[in-house]
Amino acid sequence: MRRLAAALLLLVPLAGCSGGARDQADAPEKTLHVYAAASLQNAFTEIGKRFEDANDGVTVKFTFGGSSDLVAQIEQGAPADVFASADTANMDKAVKARVIGGVPQNFASNTLEIVTPPGNPAHIESLRDLTGRSAKVVVCAPEVPCGAAAARVEEAAGLRIKPVSEEQSVTDVLGKVISGEADAGLVYVTDVLGAGAKVHGVTFPESRQAVNTYPIASLRSTHDETLAAGFTDYVVGPEGQSVLSTYGFQKP
Amino acid sequence: MSLTRQSGVPRWVLVPAALGAAFVVLPLVALATRVEWGSFFSLITSDSSRAALWLSLRTSAASTLLCVVFGVPMALVLARTTFRGQSLLRSIVLLPLVLPPVVGGIALLYTFGRKGLLGETIDVLGLQIAFSTTAVVIAQTFVALPFMVVSLEGTLRTAGERYEVVAATLGARPTTVLRRVTLPLVLPGLAAGAVLSFARALGEFGATITFAGSLEGVTRTLPLEIYLQRETDPDAAVALSLVLVVVAVLVIGLVRGTRSTAL
């Protein structure tokens, strides 16, 4: 499905070719395309609205997805102006692929938290409780950022979690816990906050061993370097930071 | 141009037909060009790749068996009986064909999941379906079953009831007619349906990842492994994709083989 979406995205600029130049000449409206990690969806949607309010005639359009998917799409020529990654590894990948225009800036960080269904039916109180055989635990696969963070936490704590499933993304982990299929999962602090009353969060001290840093950068392919830089500065600046903190993100 | 004369197809039809063929073939060629042939063999024989391939083959075989066990009677009922609401039932049975697999997965979760419709019953029986290989087989059977039903029902209708009627008038009981006349007659259609079901099960992704989860050797089938490998090792993902394409081509070859013996 994602591949199809990517293919369609590639067709979009073709379809827009004829009208593009005229639109720019007639209307002062500008559109900024921001490709951002899925975990930023709520925070960035609000930041985007505020940025639009602060800049007349500017529309911010978001594409949210897994960071590595987004890098792949940008590499294949997706029409993006700004890229915000959920980890430095994927930003490094983008830098290596020479698609980044500016210098990446770290703008937020996130740590893991244990998530359980409301009422915590399996009585999970610590990271150690996840290693027992009785509780069904889901984590992210080590190949994706949240799973890499989980592996670092396990290593730091000297524990080994025996998951019943290694999911593709943090939202999949959250989904399995919300539906009650799993007794516990490891997700980001921001995910627990975002899910509200549908879940119960259990913080654990070892989480500090795996801090995920979020970098943002404007892309080489942008048509409006000033606007792209304006957005990244806004995210790094006080307005962006205050929105991010209300969604549970910590300072980088 | 003998093609035009033989079949009476207007020449201009060949242009969109060729474009359509290119549309199918080109992505496969593109995939093949991205394969790192130097490391191809080591990529497809890594522990995780072999675990995924083996799991895929085992679960697809199991779900094909279930498709035969349930699909053949379903096709018989749809093709050889008439009752009120039959066309509605046929539409419902075919629904998984058009349903996005993710939706199928969510539906299965609310049926067989812990909190699902049958969750408590299954719990009482002491069975654990969520996150097990059984869940993979259920997901695959759900999406593959219509292929069996459609394929076999079509064959049953084409074959007609002449021989069955004759056998019955000669005193054969319904089970004997089914065993000795109907099934041998539609065997090629049944085989084609089974191969198609197997192919659909092998490619199953959405319902599996939604319903069964993803764990090496337990629920992570080849398509799930490809999707995961893409995150860190695109070369491995491409190599495994090619393996799946080759298996699919072999399967299509098998279907064509059974079809041609039917003619």
| A241/chain B closest Cα distance in angstroms | 29
Band of residue B4 on the pLDDT scale cut at 50, 70, 90: very low
Between B221 and A26, the more confident residue is: B221
pLDDT, tens digit, 9 for 90 and up, residues B168-219 = 999 999 999 999 999 999 998 999 999 999 999 999 999 999 999 999 999 9
Same fold, A2-109+213-246 and A112-209: yes
Q: Could you report the per-residue pLDDT of B137-169, keeping only the tens digit for each?
A: 999 999 999 999 999 999 999 999 999 999 999
* Confidence at residue A22, expressed as pLDDT on a 0 to 100 scale: 42
Whether the pLDDT of residue A35 is over 90: the answer is: yes
Chain A residue with Cα closest to B205: A1
Determine the average pLDDT of the residues in A26-45.
Answer: 87
Domains of chain B, by residue range, sit at 47-76+94-262
Helices B14-33 and B234-262 meet at what angle, rounded to 10?
Answer: 140
Please say whether the beta carbons of A116 and A183 come within 8 A: yes
User: Quick count: other Cβ atoms within 10 Å of Cβ A2?
Assistant: 13
Contact predicate A110/A212, CB 8 Å: yes
A-B interface: how many C-beta pairs under 8 angstroms?
A: 60
Name chain B contacts of A163, Cβ cutoff 8 Å.
Answer: 215
Comparison of pLDDT for B252 and B246, the residue scoring more = B246
State the amino acid at position A101 in one-letter form: G
Q: Which CATH class is domain A2-109+213-246?
A: alpha beta
Judging by DSSP bridges, how do beta strands A112-116 and A184-188 pair with one another?
Answer: antiparallel
What is the phi-psi region of residue A199: left when phi exceeds 0, alpha when psi lies from -120 to 50, beta otherwise? Answer: beta
Least confident of A117-126, A135-144, B249-258: B249-258
Answer whether A87 touches B (CB < 8 Å).
no
Which residues of chain A form beta strands (DSSP E)? Answer: 30-37, 58-65, 82-84, 105-110, 112-116, 137-140, 165-167, 184-188, 200-202, 212-218
In chain A, residues with a C-beta closer than 8 Å to the C-beta of B234 are 72
Q: What's the whole-number mean pLDDT along residues B60-79?
A: 96
Q: What is the pTM of this model?
A: 0.81
pLDDT of residue B204: 95
CATH class of the structural domain B47-76+94-262:
mainly alpha
pLDDT of amino acid B70: 97
- Closest C-alpha to B11, from B1, B21, B26: B1
Query: Taking the CB of residue A94, how many other CB atoms lie within 10 A of it?
Result: 25
| Domain map (residue ranges) of chain A | 2-109+213-246, 112-209
Q: Is the pLDDT of residue A93 over 90?
A: yes
Q: Copy the structure tokens of residue B144.
A: 């593959």
pLDDT tens digits, residue range B27-65? Answer: 999 999 999 899 999 999 999 999 999 999 999 999 999
Q: What is the DSSP letter of A169?
A: S
Q: Given A66, A166, A181, which is nearest B214 (Cβ)? A: A166
Question: Does the pLDDT value for residue A227 go beyond 70?
Answer: yes
Please state the separation of Cα B177 from the chain's center in Å: 28
For residues B106 and B208, is the Cβ–Cβ distance under 8 A? no
pLDDT at B96: 92
**Interchain pair B213, A164: CB under 8 A:** yes
What pLDDT is stored for residue B5 in this prediction?
52
Which pLDDT score, from 0 to 100, does residue A2 have? 52
Alpha-carbon distance A216 to A210, whole Å?
A: 20
Among the listed residues B143, B146, B162, B142, the one whose alpha carbon sits nearest the alpha carbon of residue B154 = B146
Q: Is A117 on the interface with B (CB under 8 A)?
A: no
| List of chain B residues whose C-beta atoms are within 8 Å of the C-beta of residue A68 | 230-232
Q: Among candidates B219, B216, B189, which has minimal Cα distance to B204?
A: B219
pLDDT of residue A169: 86
- Ramachandran angles phi, psi of B220, nearest 5°: -85, 90
Half-sphere exposure for B93 (CA within 13 Å, toward CB): 23
- Closest residue in A to B229 (Cα) is A143
Give yes or no for residue A156 having a pLDDT over 60: yes
pLDDT band at A204 (very low <50, low <70, confident <90, very high): very high
Q: Inspect the interface and report whether the beta carbons of B113 and A144 lie closer than 8 Å.
A: no
Q: What is the DSSP letter of A251?
A: P
Contacts A66 to B, Cβ<8 Å:
231
Residue A118 has pLDDT above 70, yes or no: yes
One-letter amino acid at B261 equals T
Q: Give the residue from B55, B99, B214 with the most A CB atoms within 10 Å of its CB, the best one to mutate.
A: B214
Q: Residue B200: what pLDDT?
A: 94
pLDDT at residue A115 is higher than 90: yes
The pLDDT of residue B258 is 64
Q: What is the pLDDT of residue B256?
A: 75
What is the pLDDT at residue B115? 84
Tokens of A89: 């590894």
Query: Within an 8 Å CB–CB cutoff, is residue A147 touching chain B?
Result: no
Contact A39, A86 (CB under 8 A): yes
- Closest CA relative to residue A175, chosen from B130, B260, B124: B130
User: Kind and range of the H or E element at A37?
Assistant: strand A30-37
Q: Which residues pair with A108 in a beta bridge?
A: A214
pLDDT > 70 fraction of chain B, expressed in percent and rounded: 95
Which of A2-16, A119-133, A207-221 shows the lowest mean pLDDT across its residues? A2-16
**Of chain B residues 217-236, which have a CB less than 8 A from chain A?**
219-220, 224, 227-232, 234
* Chain A stretch 21-40, residues whose beta carbon is closer than 8 A to a beta carbon of chain B: none
Binary contact (B216, A179; C-beta < 8 A): no
CATH of range A112-209; options 3.30.470.10, 3.40.190.10, 3.20.20.150, 1.20.1740.10: 3.40.190.10
**What is the overall mean pLDDT for chain B?**
90
pLDDT at A144: 86
